[in-house]
Amino acid sequence: MTTSPLRFIRRGEPVSLGNVPPERTLLEVLREDLACTGTKEGCGEGDCGACTVVLGEAHCGDDGRERIKYRAINSCIRLAHSVDGMALWTVEDLAEDDGTLHPAQEALVQCHGSQCGFCTPGFVMSLFGMYQNHVAPTLGASCASAPPAPANPISRELAQEELSGNLCRCTGYRPILDAAQQMALLPPARVDETDLLSKLKQLKTAGRGHPADSTYISPPTLAALLAARAAHPGAQLVAGCTDVGLWVTKMHKQFGQVLDVTQARELRRIERYPHHIAIGAAVTLTDAFATLVADRPQLKTFTNRFAGLPVRNSGTLGGNVANGSPIGDSMPLLIALGANVVLMSVRGHRELPLEQLYTGYRQNVMAPDEVLAWIKVPLPVKGEQLKAYKISKRYDDDISAVCLVVSLTVEHGKVTRASLGAGGVSATPVRAVKTEAVLRGAPWTLATAQAATAALRAEFQPISDMRASAAYRSEVLGNLMQRFWLENQGLQQINLERFALEESAS
């Protein structure tokens, strides 16, 4: 097998690196091969954000115009070859040649947002991504003469959301959040997207690497992906690398061959039909969650609490589902929503309810030549009452100890439909079928809610681990059903989702 060159655009110029092993991380390439030591290695698992860099890809907007889509990602758990054909920015790339700082850097200086400085490069890059996505679109055609837009496009809430994947032990975050809002008030900076789009096209025209006999294969079409899966059933599948990257950094795994699904153009789409949406396996968690929230706005806080933004920008919904972690948050949600998965191979396709995908701990029914291609999510039904609960030691950027998603339809005082997905209480994400049976057809009363609470606590036999004891998990699972009832009856202020920091300070 061959090792194809890794090619990307950096500082406006193409970079080509040969002999990059398939399991080598982007952070290793940056620090050890390119001497970009501004990008720091912290946790090695996508939690701290010190390794944050920004990727850019050509993207066709709703208006049909091609633009650059910017994503801040964790380089420590991103396989290097997965950025082939993209643009890349590190903290060394932002200042002008004369030393003038980018607004993301200057704002952090002015607001005293750095102390020990170790986390600072990661914060700068998250701020740069925020600037490109929210501030740059408000600038005039000539950033040298156009002043910043009068309205600051970055609110405090947005800054908190988009910096959730960066941790700091020194500053207390307030000055960093100040810097996020300060950026739009500084002299503007802008990427020459016309030139960059041209160079990305040239890179693509020159021929993407990763042919079918490569150690790292990233087929551009679904047909090519299925053919590669049939030809290389032993290759390690990746769809964003956020979990496989951990196998590399924490378990020191090596792979003879990697098959990356994220460049198959069909699987990068979200398609809307009269009764459901179909989310391709290569759609990022950020984009998939945005689509779900558009239909069900009450899910916004829950989806924002799925790791930090850099993880959601790399990870895919298909990868999260196929991985099947019992503490993955997307599966209980999708189970409660009644989602199906579509498995495909060169032999054809089959569709099944998501919860039937799993046979045991991180095991599933997929054949060696199959890939998970689509996730089909029903649109909201009339009268749907939906709540998603995540219990974790840390509110933001943490893994669940318990997850429960409840979807009910109540008509004329009676539960006509009940769908519950749970995580952290079994070897796989699960549907609470016994509890659903207790609810379905029963009057929606306190007695029914209490019966459902008892059924939930008895339905599963969770384990004890570092995140929670078995007894705690069972108790909390029932408590969440009680919370659903109380909130359904109009009780407020019993959920951190409704906690307002400004109010607490008075």
Chain centroid to Cα 131, Å, comes to: 19
| pLDDT classification of 415: cutoffs 50, 70, 90 | very high
In angstroms, the CA 267 to CA 477 distance is 35
Residue range 216-378, CATH number: 3.30.465.10
CA dist list (Å): 151 to 134, 154, 163, 341, 448: 11, 9, 21, 43, 50
In angstroms, the CA 145 to CA 139 distance is 10
Question: Is the predicted pLDDT of residue 37 greater than 90, yes or no?
Answer: yes
Domain coordinates in residue numbering, the chain = 6-202, 216-378, 384-498
Query: Contact, 225 vs 219, CB < 8 A?
Result: yes
CA dist list (Å): 137 to 77, 132, 355, 410, 421: 30, 7, 41, 44, 39
In a 3-state reduction of DSSP, which class is residue 441? coil
| pLDDT classification of 128: cutoffs 50, 70, 90 | very high
In angstroms, the CA 337 to CA 419 distance is 7
| pLDDT classification of 88: cutoffs 50, 70, 90 | very high
Chain centroid to Cα 417, Å, comes to: 30
In angstroms, the CA 56 to CA 429 distance is 34
Tell me the residue type at 408.
Answer: L
In angstroms, the CA 116 to CA 438 distance is 55
In angstroms, the CA 332 to CA 479 distance is 17
Query: Contact, 135 vs 154, CB < 8 A?
Result: yes
Q: What is the pTM (predicted TM-score) of this model?
A: 0.94
The two domains 6-202 and 384-498 share their CATH topology (first three levels equal): no
In angstroms, the CA 113 to CA 179 distance is 7
In angstroms, the CA 155 to CA 403 distance is 29
Beta partners for residue 52, in sequence order: 74
Tell me the residue type at 452.
Answer: A
Label the pairing between strands 87-89 and 13-17.
unpaired
* Location of structure tokens 């009363």: 445
Task: Kindly state the percentage of the chain with pLDDT values over 70.
Answer: 94
Residue range 384-498, CATH number: 3.30.390.50
| pLDDT classification of 504: cutoffs 50, 70, 90 | very low
CA dist list (Å): 129 to 72, 233, 487: 6, 37, 37
Query: Contact, 74 vs 165, CB < 8 A?
Result: yes
User: How many other C-beta atoms lie within 10 A of the C-beta of residue 334?
Assistant: 28
| pLDDT classification of 500: cutoffs 50, 70, 90 | low
Query: Contact, 124 vs 168, CB < 8 A?
Result: no
| pLDDT classification of 150: cutoffs 50, 70, 90 | low
In angstroms, the CA 211 to CA 267 distance is 19
Report the pLDDT value the prediction gives residue 142, as an integer from 0 to 100.
45
| pLDDT classification of 124: cutoffs 50, 70, 90 | very high
Q: pLDDT digit string (tens) for 260-312?
A: 999 999 999 999 999 999 999 999 999 999 999 999 999 999 999 999 999 99
What is the three-state SS of 325-343? CCCCCHHHHHHHCCCEEEE
* Close Cβ partners of 317 (under 8 Å, ≥ 6 residues apart): 279, 281, 283, 284, 285, 288, 289, 330, 375
Q: Helix H segments across 89-173?
A: 103-110, 120-130, 156-162
Structure tokens at 506: 């008075």
Structure tokens at 190: 């802008």
Report the pLDDT value the prediction gives residue 171, as an integer from 0 to 100.
85
Q: CATH second-level architecture of 6-202?
A: Roll (3.10)
Kindly write down the DSSP assignment for every residue of 474-495, as one continuous string.
Answer: HHHHHHHHHHHHHHHTT--S-S
| pLDDT classification of 502: cutoffs 50, 70, 90 | low
